[in-house]
Amino acid sequence: MFAKNLTALGKLCIILSSLLLVNCSSTKNVELNSESTFKSVEKDFNNTNHWTHTIYNAIKYNKNMLKKEDQVKQMQAVFFALNNAPEGEVVKWYNDKNQTFGLVKIVSSYPHGSGYCRILFTQISKKGKIRDFTETACKDVAYNGWQFIR
């Protein structure tokens, strides 16, 4: 009886470990959009020990996000740089009306599978607050567009 229970326990452990390994096999989270386009320029938040801090942080985060027209400009700059800019060239955009701007710079490229990846530094600024991002985007023959790796 002991051996039978031990065997059942062993099978259960094998099943659980194989499920964990399957979930760990994909280490990259792929997105279609640049992180810098949709994140807030705010990066300093209060400790969230209290619900009022959480609400304050949410308001602060949303207040410092790019407006739609600026998100479009940022996304256009990112994809222009990915598709056209040589390494080291800076692609810029400005919006004087909202006091916002962005910079995109391709810092390196490398082969990946049947395509290649590009690492880019991006910076967004809104009303004097600046936030930097490092992103990696890959293009593969099997997929027509760029996929951002998180």
Residue 5 lies in a domain: no
Terminal alpha carbon distance of the chain: 49
Residue 73: pLDDT above 80?
Answer: yes
Residue 70 lies in a domain: yes
In angstroms, rounded to a whole number, what is the distance separating the alpha carbons of residues 81 and 127? 24
The residue range of the domain holding 108 is 28-149
Residue 93 lies in a domain: yes
**Is the four-CA dihedral 30, 31, 37, 41 of positive or negative sign?**
negative
In angstroms, rounded to a whole number, what is the distance separating the alpha carbons of residues 35 and 30? 11
pLDDT band with cut points at 50, 70 and 90 for residue 123:
very high
Residue 33 lies in a domain: yes
Residue 17 lies in a domain: no
Residue 133 lies in a domain: yes
pTM of the shown model: 0.69
Query: What residue has token string 């004087």?
Result: 96
Structure tokens at 134: 């490092």
Q: How many CB atoms lie within 10 A of CB 80?
A: 13
**Is the four-CA dihedral 108, 113, 115, 121 of positive or negative sign?**
negative
pLDDT per residue over 110-120, tens digit each? 998 889 999 99
pLDDT per residue over 36-69, tens digit each? 776 666 655 556 666 676 676 676 566 667 889 9
In angstroms, rounded to a whole number, what is the distance separating the alpha carbons of residues 85 and 91? 8
pLDDT band with cut points at 50, 70 and 90 for residue 26:
very low
Residue 48 lies in a domain: yes
Number of structural domains in the chain: 1
Residue 2 lies in a domain: no
